[in-house]
Amino acid sequence: MTDAWTPLAELTLTTSESDVVFSSIGGSYRDLVVVTNIDGSAQTELFIRFNGDTGSYVSLRLQGAGGTAAANTHSGNGMRLVGNGDIKTDFTFNSVIHIFDYASTSVHKHVLSRTNSSQGLDLCTGRWVNTSAITSVTLYPATGTFETGSTFQLWGLNTA
């Protein structure tokens, strides 16, 4: 099982970017996993899109911030993976984003993400309301940019 995850691409930003795009993703894996360590230019939310599509995305979030737990939902033209304020400007934002059955052309695409920052932590589930195979993944902050030194890694997960 030690080689179940295949590294596909990695990037460490040398300049600020308004988004990061993994593209030309092959369809030979069962799932995809994105791992990030982000410094933001602003305290804001993280979103994900697939194939550049601005159609319909929905997500459900469980958050712990301070001594309070909260849950809420979101729908829009991008999938919200964390709630307001969870990207921070202090390099403390980490995420592991699992994208299930990404190459299927029969099912909507489901996402499970775990994110941490000095703002708190989130567990999110999301769904891209689309049956297309995913060939690109875009990550972007709701406002501002990802800052120099932020890292982004993509993995393909084999199950056979």
Partner 1 sequence: MGVEYSIMKKTLIERIDVDSSGESNVVFSSISQEYDGLLLICSVRNDSTNLTFDIHPNGSSADRTRTTIQGSGAAATAATGTDITPLQDSSAYTANTFASTSVFIPNYTGSQTKGFSIESVTENDATTSYQRLQAGLWSNANAITSLELSTASLFAEHSSFTLYGVSAGSDGSTSVA
Q: Could you say whether residue 68 binds partner 1 (CB under 8 A)?
A: yes
**Residue 101 has what DSSP assignment?**
T
The dihedral through the CA atoms of 69, 43, 138, 73 has a sign that is: positive
42, 121, 133, 142: residue in contact with partner 1 (rule CB under 8 A): 121
> What whole-number distance in Å separates Cα of residue 123 and Cα of residue 135?
25
Whose tokens are 């190459």? That residue is: 103
> What whole-number distance in Å separates Cα of residue 120 and Cα of residue 115?
9
Stretch that binds partner 1, among 46-54, 75-83, 101-109, 119-127 (CB under 8 A): 119-127
108, 114, 125, 132: residue in contact with partner 1 (rule CB under 8 A): 114
> What whole-number distance in Å separates Cα of residue 120 and Cα of residue 69?
10
Q: Could you say whether residue 110 binds partner 1 (CB under 8 A)?
A: no
Q: Could you say whether residue 116 binds partner 1 (CB under 8 A)?
A: yes
Interface with partner 1 by CB under 8 A: which residues? Answer: 1-11, 20-26, 33, 35-37, 39, 62, 64-69, 90-94, 96, 98, 112, 114, 116-118, 120-121, 123, 149, 151-157
